[in-house]
Structure 1
Amino acid sequence: MSCGAVSPDGALKRAAPGFADIDWSRPWFAQVAARGVRWQQAALRGAAQQLREMNADAGSAVITTGRGKRLTFIPQDELPPGTAYEAHIAATGCVPTRHNLHDFFNALTWFQFPRIKAALSARGSAAVDALGIGPTRGDTRDALTVFDENAVLFACSDPALSTALQAFSWKTLFVAQRAAWDERCEVRCFGHALLEKLVTPYKACTGHAWIVEVPSAYFTWTRAARDSFLDDTVARVLLEGAGFSSQMFAPLPVLGIPGWWADNETESFYDDASVFRSGRRSRVAPDGKIAASKVGQAVAASLVSAGEGEESPDSTGQGDG
């Protein structure tokens, strides 16, 4: 792990985590570990070597961005001044990339869920085309950024589990229904800022959950088949669904997921109300059902504001050029 340094006032300050700090045995990295280990070794040798390794994979994978351009990774300083990050990717296929963990995980996600990333690129660039670049990003671009940076995909075949997530019923979801995990629900980390934070995990680390309804048979499929289903389903909804906004996520403290953190084997782990919150507004409608919006047939989402999560609307560090 990175070493700490003593500041002038005597306080111990930890150095920012780097490529050498990634522990690929963590369950949240399992989905990208095979490629990630190889890229990590290249990144440790330098920025040019990292880009070379990424582009070698891009050249053989035939991944396209929002407007059908072949995916390529370029140095950050090749992004033209005044050009919107999303629009540049959609128009050219070139993803401006810095030599840091944030952009490292962003690139890995392009290979893990290429259709979702392309859909985000397409919608983001369309929003720029419609509204231009201004002092604020607008609701749609804010929501797209929250998804890109901090989303987790909550794949679920049991509506009762989705209801528990939306209702902040943490002990139902994580304790009473513990055996349901990997049999009726599971989580895939999508947001690259979330993956970056999980290099040095902490209890309050929270993702924005996008609920994906899956068939029961999903949990018998291979990991590759599951990922392909999620990629296709979510991308289709992102491109076709109306009313996409930051309100369409449910907060999910990811270290509460069974099997993801040793401390959560003890029920009292979930008694920490600063992490496992009761929610800011009631989720239960007069008929006793959870109040939720649903976009398309495959995705349900709770009525949660983006402010309840951890990422700001523009946490990419890329800005608008």
Structure 2
Amino acid sequence: MNPAAAIPATLAGRALFEPIAPWLRRFAAPGVPGHAELDALLAEAAPEARSGGGAPIRFVPPTGDAEGYEARVFARGEVPTRAGDWHDFFNALAWCAWPRTKAACNRLHLAELHARAAAGLPGRGPRRDALTQFDECGLVVVSADAELPALLAAHAWEEALWTRRARLRQTTRFLVFGHGSWDQLRAPFVGLCAKTLYRVVEPAWLALPAAAALAETDAWLAAHLVANIAALTPRSLAPLPLLGIPGVTPDNDCAAYYRDTRQFRPQRGAACAPAPA
């Protein structure tokens, strides 16, 4: 890994780190901040952040107890966070950027856990699996051009990401939700993929300041997941190769890049339709 990537602030200018860039810029020394710094950052960035059960969020060392991760967050607002761990650092920043959606996911996890227990069903089930996948590698594609999300959902990669690149840059935003994706994007690799939800908006959305656009999308995403939880499965989340997004790698600055089927695979099965605004 590039040694510069060991300094959070060096990531702030990279594509796909936009939702957390303002906070990354604060940490210009190597390594990641500790629990007290993360608590202070959350109190400033998202003072309203609460668990699915309504408890104020704080970042604590893992304890290895039997309560379970989601149950601990729900009941006490305690987010287990390993010291010096980049993956958990990005999870803390996700709480800063997406407080409503993180709370909604936590609440949905607990509701599904209790529902399956009451029904005598074993295992986590597809809804919790999908919530976890989205928490780790979720992406919201917001576009004022309905054709572009439809093309991406249909795996028309070259058409959407290359042929219509100028239009894509003008009308479409790629907002990472998954903290695992940010961790992997420190050293991106061929095949790196997101689990995607598509949203079509009015052109006026594009004129919103970045912080306002993120907050509005956070509210939309939380409501969308709650409203659609019955149909949520891992297969309902559309794959999108992150290295195909303009700006993520200089390698994608040519049409031939999108013909590499190791990353840009043709579609199988039905497309995931873009959601309305």
Deviation at 1:33, TM superposition (A): 2.2
Q: TM-score, normalised by structure 2?
A: 0.89
CA distance in 2 between counterparts of 1:146 and 1:40 reads: 30
SS at match of 2:235: coil
Q: Secondary structure at the match of 1:131?
A: helix
1:122 to 82, 107, 110: 107
- Of the three residues 53, 70, 86, the one matched with 1:67 is 53
Match of 1:30 in 2: 18
After TM superposition, the structure 1 = structure 2 runs for residues 162-181 of structure 1, keeping only pairs within 5 Å, are 162-181=149-168
Q: 1:198–1:128: structure 2 CA closer, same or farther, 3 Å change rule? A: same
| Contact in 2 for aligned 1:18/1:101 (Cα 8 Å) | no
Structure (1/2) with the larger helix percentage? 2
Question: What CA distance in whole angstroms lies between the structure 2 residues aligned with 1:130 and 1:294?
Answer: 29
Query: Partner amino acid for 1:58?
Result: L
Residues 39 and 50 of structure 1 are in contact (CA less than 8 Å); yes or no, is this contact kept in structure 2? no
CA positional deviation for 1:279: 2.3
Q: CA RMSD in A?
A: 2.4
Counterparts in 2 of 1:112 and 1:40: CA distance versus 1, 3 Å: farther
| Partner residue, 1:257 | 245
Alignment of 1:147-186 (within 5 A): 147-186=134-173
Instruction: Give the TM-score, by structure 1 length.
Output: 0.77
- Structure 1's unaligned 5+ residue stretches are 4-16, 284-290, 299-321
Q: Which blocks of at least 5 consecutive residues in structure 2 are unaligned? A: none
Distance in 1, matches of 2:273 and 2:243, equals: 26
Q: Deviations over 1:180-221 (max 9, x none)?
A: 223221101111111111110113211111112221111111
Q: Return the alpha-carbon distance in structure 1 between the equivalents of residues 61 and 27 of structure 2.
A: 16
Q: 2:267 aligns with which of 259, 265, 279?
A: 279
Q: Relative to structure 1, is the Cα distance of residues 292 and 24 closer, same or farther in structure 2, using a 3 angstrom cutoff?
A: closer
The correspondence of residues 1-321 of structure 1 with structure 2, limited to 5 A, is 1=1, 19-20=6-7, 23-39=11-27, 41=29, 43-44=31-32, 50-60=34-44, 61-77=47-63, 81-99=65-83, 100-132=85-117, 136-241=123-228, 242-281=230-269, 283=270, 291-292=271-272, 297-298=276-277
Quick one: structure 1 residues 266 and 18, their matched pair in 2 at CA, closer, same or farther if it must change by over 3 Å?
Answer: closer
- Matched with 1:316 is none
Give 1:101 shift. Answer: 1.1
How many residue pairs are counted as aligned between the two chains?
A: 270
Aligned-pair identity in percent equals 31
SS of residue paired to 2:26: helix
**1:58 Cα deviation from its structure 2 partner:** 2.8
Offset, 1:122: 0.6
- Residue 49 of structure 2 aligns to which amino acid in structure 1? I
Shift of 1:41: 3.8
SS for the counterpart of 2:256 is helix
- Shift, 1:294, TM fit: 6.9
Higher mean alpha-carbon deviation, 57-66 vs 175-184, is at: 57-66
2: CA distance, partners of 1:215 / 1:40: 37
CA distance in 2, matches of 1:59, 1:215: 32
Q: CA deviation at 1:135?
A: 6.3
CA deviation after TM superposition for structure 1 residue 134, in Å? 8.2
For residue 26 of structure 1, give the secondary structure of its aligned residue in structure 2.
coil
Equivalent-residue separation in structure 2 for 1:183 and 1:266 (angstroms): 19
8 Å Cα contact 2:144/2:171 also seen in 1 = yes
